[in-house]
Structure 1
Amino acid sequence: MKQAVQEQIAAALEQLFGAVTKLQAAYPGKPFTLDGRLVGDIGEVVASLHYRLTLNEGLTKRHDAIADDGRNVQIKTTFSKNLTFPVGHVPDYYLGIKLSRDGTFEEIYNGPGQLIKDELKRRAPTTTNGLHGNLMSQLKRINLTVPDEQRIPRR
């Protein structure tokens, strides 16, 4: 039994690393590492394909992309029901998306980071790494109030 489980893990890891190699070939500017960055890197690339923005090269602090009009954008991505927002700084613009297994996505929030910060000002961080978490319903609600001219436009 133990050998069979180890073989299944080895086969699954081989598939994962094969997928990473394909992702790296498709978009060489992102590392697509399996150490917790994979979902974020995929989300950034998906966002760059659907919104008028250019991804920053490599890893950058606080912002992941620049919109065509010069606005700095932080992109957060999830496959589940959790998006986070930083406690220590306010991103100029925040784009939160929920990915589906088929590569489609739902826009959860697209607008100024300050609107989120204002909404969370009395709330303590909900994670141990200085992030507000479990924001999906709040972000959707705040997103309804964002004027179109303050959104990152789609391509």
Structure 2
Amino acid sequence: MKEEIQEQIAGALEQLFDGVSKLQAAFPGKPFTLDGRLVGDIGEIVASLHYQITLNEGLTKHHDAVADDGRNVQIKTTFSKNLTFPVGHVPDYYLGIKLNRDGSFEEIYNGPGKLIKEELKRRAPTSTGLHGNLMGQLKRINLTIPDAERIPRR
């Protein structure tokens, strides 16, 4: 079942990126990135296949899923090099992943949100309500997180 869903995602992504390539060729200078709600939704599905979490129904404030052990999890996804973190709240647990065009992914961060908040405490709030360009910081912090504080893989 998991492999079948992953194949469906990979096929759909191939079609999406083919469409993006055609738009980029027709309108040079426009990136036509897929980041946004679509990427977030795909990331949540991918995370639910690979981590011990259950996705919340519909759109929920601050957290996207609940881990099997009851921890609330916010999932952030990108196809590029930009993961964000909220300014106005601290998610209990944060799972940041970078999707690849073939549907595979790289775990960038898997751990408590408070560790990210501590790292960002000197950053000024932004007008968007999100801290951005965190890839390097998240990868560095992720190396320090004990397994017991991570959301387990399936």
Common topology (TM > 0.5) = yes
- Matched residue SS, 1:82: coil
Change (3 A) 1:149 1:35: closer
Equivalent residue, structure 2, for 1:134:
133
CA shift at 1:52, angstroms? 0.2
Report the structure number with the largest CA radius of gyration.
1
C-alpha contact (below 8 Å) 2:35/2:79 kept by paired residues? no
Q: CA deviation at 1:35?
A: 9.4
5+ unaligned residues in a row in structure 2: which ranges? 1-14, 17-33
CA distance in 1, matches of 2:96, 2:127: 20
Q: Report the TM-score when normalising by structure 2.
A: 0.77
Letter in 2 for 1:67: A
Contact 2:86 2:130 (C-alpha < 8 Å) held by counterparts: yes
User: 1:97 aligns to what?
Assistant: 97
Query: What value does the CA root-mean-square deviation take over the aligned residues?
Result: 1.7
Cα distance change, pair 111–81 in 1 and its aligned pair in 2 (3 A) = same
Identity %: 88
- In the alignment, is the contact (CA less than 8 A) between 2:35 and 2:78 conserved in 1? no
Runs of at least 4 residues off by over 6 Å: none
Residues 39 and 78, structure 2, Cα contact 8 Å, conserved in 1: yes
TM-score for both structures, normalised by structure 1: 0.76
Q: Secondary structure at the match of 1:77?
A: strand
| Matching residue's letter, 2:113 | G
Structure 1 residue runs of 5 or longer lacking an equivalent are 1-14, 17-33
What is the count of residue pairs matched by the alignment? 124
Which structure would you say has the larger RCO, counting Cα contacts within 8 Å and 6 or more residues apart?
Answer: 2
